[in-house]
Amino acid sequence: MENKTQDHPPTRFSGVQTGLTLSVLLATLLIGYGLLRYPTTLTASSAGVRSLAGSVIALYAYEAIALWGAPATSRAYPALLRMGVIGGILIGFLFAAQMLIEYLTPLTSDQDGTLAFLTFGTLFVIFFLAGLWGAKQTGRIRLGLLAALWSALVGSLIWLNLVLITYYAFNGTPQERHFLEIDQTLADFQHSGMTDLRAFILQDYLGGGFFHLLLSPISALIFGSGGSLVDKVLTRLRKPFD
């Protein structure tokens, strides 16, 4: 297939860099606020320092990708960045809706599990469609994956900030109590052996932040590959008819 990467002139990528940098900075400030408010997070168990280190390392790995990866992607095919940002914003809305439903509606634990299944199922569909679109636009599987990858990077940073903001916003409210019950957080705390609930929750979010920031791009590569390969197969099937 003809290489389409030269059909479009380079576009500005500074907006993507600025947006991701601001997201990383906001997450850093939110984590710092949590540690100031609940200083026992680092000492309540041995997982405290590991959780903090993991989340901070992952955050600034994202910052490095923003600084070095955005220009490279823009040179390869500028529209991939735009598609990645659109996909990431859609993912952000998806997680925002999930969190508001969990905090503000009387879900049961089973219903919460179904909601999580639907949320992550939709997330994987977004990665698949981003990979399909990217491959269709560029004619290359490798470049198609970049659209899915940027969606994961943008969406994951939005997710982490939303998790921390909603935690602080609903802190100590009846809505938070209900959420902690249906999410099994209170049950996990009771089995953890820890005595400081706030330290346990923040440790859990920091540890979860590390794994989400790590696994989301991996999932994007897997499902984005699926979308890119589907486009490749469909393209080959169309050739005889063309």
CA 207 to each of CA 34, 172, 198: distance values in angstroms, whole numbers, following the listed order: 14, 21, 14
* 207-234 per-residue burial string, b: 16 or more CB within 10 A, e: under 16: bbbbebbeebbebbbebbbbbbeebbee
**What pLDDT is attached to residue 241?**
59
Q: Please state, rounded to an integer, the average pLDDT across all residues of the chain.
A: 91
| 36-45, 73-82, 154-163, 196-205: the lowest-pLDDT one | 73-82
| Residue 180, both tokens | 């902690």
Stated pTM of the model: 0.90
For a pLDDT cut of 70, what percent of the chain falls above it? 93
Query: What are the pLDDT digits (tens) for 180-239?
Result: 999 999 999 999 989 999 999 999 999 999 999 999 999 999 999 999 999 888 877 776
Task: Considering only residues 229 and 9, tell me which one the structure prediction assigns the higher pLDDT.
Answer: 229
pLDDT, average across residues 155-184: 95
Has residue 1 got a pLDDT over 50?
no
Has residue 240 got a pLDDT over 80?
no
The residue with tokens 């997450």 is 27
Has residue 242 got a pLDDT over 60?
no
3-state helix, strand, coil in the chain (%, to 5): 85, 0, 15
The residue with tokens 């599987």 is 141
Coil, strand or helix at 78: coil
Cβ atoms within 10 A of the Cβ of 23, count? 23
Query: What are the pLDDT digits (tens) for 88-117?
Result: 999 999 999 999 999 999 999 999 999 999
**What pLDDT is attached to residue 169?**
96
Has residue 69 got a pLDDT over 60?
yes
